[in-house]
A and B are shown apart, each in its own frame.
Chain A
């Protein structure tokens, strides 16, 4: 038993088949493409968020610097967190639709094909 209560599925490839797919260049390419995007992007937003919270905790005067009217640097950086979150979401969706989905679909179809 690989997982509990495996239900009959359209396909149920064997362990050796999974090993073969895992070793295939197509799969390695998918894996590399995914990791090359998500790991640096995660590092970026975590560092950017961490810097923001550090400034919020320790650099009160800097954050209070007025930028325009009553709007200060703290508010601009805080709203910047919203902007980057929305932006990264958009970039990832575009990337996943263009780069990840075609690659994973190809592998999925090939596995279906070899089953029949």
Chain B
């Protein structure tokens, strides 16, 4: 499809180069994953890489896990076409890390073992709380996974010149099979290395492009902004030329409802990150709370730098490529960054950026799969179905089977959802994480009186309200951009449920707790608090 995007510049991007660079990434990462697998001897190795990564390594891996193709292509594209509103959207993803840094990361590392549910069920009734936490983990991971898999189809059409539906399905299947291989062979250690390599490639690629863009404008950012606005004002695509891309409002400013939708989205982004199970699980890959702290510092530095690059790339694409050409390309907004890469560095840079975008999907889906399969094996199978009467080797075996089942399901659903508008699933995953997970995480860590009923009401209330509201929202039915444009059951006016479901999750936690006389087990409460703050008895790193 690159051929067609670039037809009117009379130059041709080469899918062969794109595919070769991507194949090189796959080969190199598979070799590393196979090498990493040699030490995959027990459950601690498989689920947490033996708690043996350093803070900086884990911080880079977190950035690799967190910066999805949607962040790179989606945000750069939104800035190129809508301007400021795309930038505003990106900021929530960064500020959110302060919640993880100040309130969650270190205490979670000190308390848990393999999964988010370890922490949530620590001092409450094991089975019901663990089940609720596992259901929420699986829901968030599946939504996120599905969004990535469905997006892979569109990305392939855009980057690798594959237009047929069956050929796109084949590529989605290849992504799924690679993801299963990474997780099965490499476990957490292999997956972490894939994320580290991908993060380095993605951030370096974005940095190089940023320097090239700024160089074209004499390192004058104001000049770049002026050129971007000029191109947008000259655009012939309907509705584009009237946009002020330097000020907010082009995307979310149409009506009062769309403005409230933006607030709702912002709330979900800033509070969701610290409740995402695949992010939380990464904190178990380091040996101590102090290393968990260093991980977040590295992650914040890299993610912050990346969104600053994206800002330049978005306006750069508007100024150098122009919104008309971007919106005419297949993939529309998503093609802004690849088109800019071609403009700056020809087919080689386009090939590198395309392959990096594709590698991004692979690394993110692998992280989600290991999180979901670990939660199934450790929380549902070992703790709930077998009442802890299983060996850790058995947990690893079950987790591997779960990863295969999940991978096959993700391939099937990804193929079905290919071409459907399921972009809302990423925002929904953040909203569920903020509504169902974060209240219970914070209450367990900071509120002594918090009890089992509070946790269950908060988790199920947050989860169910979030999903019900999205089902009856315009994201699913009633508008041209809905998943089901022909149906009309959209009685909830917002596409982002967070503004209702997040306060509900927090309030249900308080009401549930206070309405029950249960004050918990004083010794367990003391153990959790002392452990979380001091690191006494925390899981130790294994030696290599």
Q: How far is the CB of A69 from chain B (nearest CB, A)?
A: 3
Do A64 and B246 touch across chains, with their CB atoms under 8 A apart?
Answer: yes
List 23 contacting pairs A-B, 8 Å CB cutoff, sorted by A.
A4-B382, A11-B536, A13-B536, A15-B523, A30-B533, A42-B99, A42-B102, A45-B95, A49-B95, A49-B270, A56-B85, A56-B248, A56-B262, A57-B259, A63-B84, A70-B229, A81-B95, A82-B307, A85-B97, A85-B98, A89-B98, A92-B101, A107-B536
CB distance from A95 to the nearest CB of B (A): 10
Whether a CB of chain A sits under 8 angstroms from the CB of B522 is: yes
Asked whether, in the complex, the Cβ of A96 is within 8 Å of the Cβ of B293, the reply is yes
Contact A93-B297, Cβ < 8 Å, known A15-B523, A101-B290: yes
Select from chain A the residue with minimum beta-carbon distance to B226: A70
B270 / chain A contacts, CB cutoff of 8 Å: 46, 49
Taking the closest CB of chain A, its distance from the CB of B529, in whole angstroms, is 6
> Interface residues of B, CB < 8 Å — how many?
66
Give the docked Cα–Cα distance between A74 and B27 (Å): 44
- When A22-B529, A58-B259, A108-B535 are in contact, do A2 and B524 touch as well, CB less than 8 Å? yes
> How far does the Cβ of A72 sit from chain B's closest Cβ, in whole Å?
6
Are B530 and A22 in contact (CB-based, < 8 A)?
yes
Contact B98 A42, beta carbon cutoff 8 Å: yes
**Docked pose: A41 CA to B304 CA in angstroms:** 19
Q: Complex Cα distance A21/B292, Å?
A: 24
From A49, A63, A86, give the contact of B248 (CB < 8 A): A63
**A5 in contact with B126 given A52-B91, A70-B226 (CB within 8 Å):** no
Whether A16 is near chain B, meaning CB under 8 Å from some CB there, is yes
Q: How far is B528's CA from A31's CA once the two chains are assembled, in angstroms?
A: 13
Which residues from B are CB-within-8-Å of A13?
Answer: 527, 536-537
Cα separation A86 to B383 with both chains bound (whole Å): 40
Contact A60 B247 (CB under 8 A): yes
With A56-B248, A60-B247, A70-B222 known as contacts, the answer to whether A86 contacts B304 (CB < 8 A) is: yes
User: How distant is the Cα of A93 from the Cα of B97 in the complex, in angstroms?
Assistant: 14
Are A111 and B536 in touch, CB under 8 angstroms? yes
Report how many residues on chain A are interfacial, defined by Cβ distance under 8 Å: 61
By secondary structure, the B interface counts as helix
Identify the 3 closest CB pairs spanning chains A and B, nearest first.
A15-B523, A69-B222, A64-B247
Assembly CA distance A42 to B104 (angstroms): 12
B266 at the interface (CB under 8 A from A): yes
Chain A residues in the interface with B (C-beta under 8 A):
1-5, 9-13, 15-16, 18-19, 21-22, 27, 30-31, 34-35, 38, 41-42, 45-46, 49-50, 52-58, 60-61, 63-64, 68-72, 74-75, 78, 81-82, 85-86, 88-89, 92-93, 96, 101, 104, 107-108, 111
| Smallest beta-carbon distance A43→chain B, Å | 11
Q: List the B side residues contacting A69 at CB < 8 Å.
A: 222-223, 225-226
Q: Determine which residue in A30, A56, A63 has the highest number of CB atoms from chain B within 10 A of its CB, and name it.
A: A56
Measured CA separation A5–B226 after assembly (Å):
62
Against A, the Cβ 8 Å flags (1 = close, 0 = not) of B107-143 are: 0000001000010001000100000000000000000
* Nearest CB of chain B from residue A76's CB, rounded to whole Å: 12
Across the interface, A5 reaches (CB within 8 A) one of B388, B523, B527, B536, namely B388
Q: Given A15-B526, A19-B522, A53-B262: A75 and B98 within 8 A (CB)? A: no
Complex Cα–Cα for A2 and B43 (A): 20
CA distance A50 to B266 in the complex (A): 8
Closest Cβ–Cβ distance, residue B134 to chain A (whole Å): 13
- For residue A96, give the distance in angstroms from its CB to the closest CB of chain B: 6
B221 lies within 8 A of A89 (CB): no
Residue of A with least CB distance to B249? A60
Q: How far is the CB of A92 from chain B (nearest CB, A)?
A: 6
Please state if A70 and B225 are interface contacts (CB–CB under 8 Å): yes
Provide the residues of chain A in CB contact with B98, threshold 8 Å. 41-42, 45, 85, 88-89
Asked whether A41 lies within 8 Å of B102 as measured between CB atoms, the reply is: yes
List 11 additional contacts besides A53-B92, A74-B247; criterion CB under 8 Å: A4-B388, A5-B382, A52-B91, A57-B262, A63-B84, A70-B222, A71-B225, A85-B95, A89-B300, A92-B101, A111-B534
Residue of B nearest to A7 (CB): B539
Q: Does any Cβ of A come within 8 Å of B345's Cβ?
A: no
Closest to A73 in B: B247
Cβ contacts under 8 Å, B472 to chain A: none
- Residues of the A chain whose Cβ atoms lie less than 8 Å from the Cβ of B530: 18, 21-22, 27, 107
Q: Is the CB of A74 within 8 A of B246?
A: yes
Give every chain A residue within 8 A of B297 (Cβ-Cβ).
89, 93
Q: How far is the CB of A50 from chain B (nearest CB, A)?
A: 8
User: A96: which B residues are within 8 A, CB to CB?
Assistant: 106, 293
Residues of B within 8 Å of A22, CB to CB, are 526, 529-530
Cα(A82)–Cα(B93), bound, Å: 11
Convert B32-68 into 0s and 1s, putting 1 for each residue whose CB lies closer than 8 angstroms to a CB of A: 0000000000000000000000000000000000000
Per-position contact with A for B366-391: 1 when CB-CB < 8 Å, else 0?
00000000000000001100001000
The yes or no answer to B211 lying at the interface (CB within 8 A) is no
Report yes or no: A57 in contact with B263, Cβ–Cβ below 8 A: yes
A86 CB, min distance to chain B CBs, angstroms: 6
Say yes or no: A86 contacts B301, CB within 8 Å: yes
Residues of B within 8 A of A54 (CB): 263
Q: Within the assembled complex, what's the spacing in Å between the Cα atoms of A9 and B293?
A: 23
Decide if A82 touches B225 in the complex (CB within 8 Å). no
